[in-house]
């Protein structure tokens, strides 16, 4: 949803905080399903992404695929494959003073994240951090680059397909 003033931004962040507080982003299965939806949406809109990158940056289809779409798809695949292991608590050595205890590192999501993309790799540097934030159990507010409007429009279209 495009926002134009500070009240809309505050309302959007409040909605994201409320959604995060509901606990809907905690389940690993829900995170993996979301990654699969993003992956499929990128695949479904591949030609539109190529056209947008050509319009905004003059990238050839080969360059656009190799530097933006292909890397995004590979990162999504890697994240889906490993997110369950990354989310598990990891055992650590316990100090001698606490010899009866167990030490663990427990990965916890932060809450609401902001993803802002630059103009030079607008698709890759929006979708990769977005996918990582969502895989970690966070929610995200996305601010695509104003200097690549065609790519920003396709990113909006892709995001709206799964939200």
Q: With a threshold of 0.85, does the pTM exceed it? A: yes
150: which DSSP letter? H
Interatomic CA distance for residues 30 and 14, integer angstroms = 22
Give the largest Cα separation in the chain, rounded.
63
Residues 62-117: pLDDT tens digits? 999 999 999 999 999 999 999 999 999 999 998 888 888 899 999 889 999 999 99
Question: What DSSP assignment string belongs to 95-123?
Answer: PGGGTTS-EEE-----SEEEEE--SSSTT
Residues 4-61: pLDDT tens digits? 678 888 898 999 999 999 988 999 999 999 999 999 999 999 999 999 999 999 999 9
Look at residue 2 in the predicted model and tell me its pLDDT. 57
């Amino acid at each position: 949803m495009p926002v134009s003033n500070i009240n809309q931004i505050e309302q959007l962040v409040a909605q994201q905080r409320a959604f995060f507080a509901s606990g809907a982003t905690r389940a690993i299965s829900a995170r993996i399903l979301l990654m699969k939806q993003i992956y499929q949406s990128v695949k479904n809109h591949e030609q539109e992404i190529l056209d947008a990158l050509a319009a905004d940056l003059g990238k050839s289809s080969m360059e656009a695929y190799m530097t933006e779409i292909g890397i995004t798809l590979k990162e999504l695949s890697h994240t889906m494959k490993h997110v369950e292991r990354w989310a598990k608590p990891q055992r650590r050595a316990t100090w001698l003073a606490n010899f009866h205890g167990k030490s663990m590192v427990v990965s916890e999501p932060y809450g609401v994240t902001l993803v802002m993309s630059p103009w030079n790799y607008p698709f890759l540097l929006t979708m990769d951090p977005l996918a990582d934030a969502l895989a970690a159990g966070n929610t995200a507010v996305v601010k695509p680059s104003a200097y690549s409007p065609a790519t920003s429009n396709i990113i909006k279209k892709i995001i709206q397909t799964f939200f």
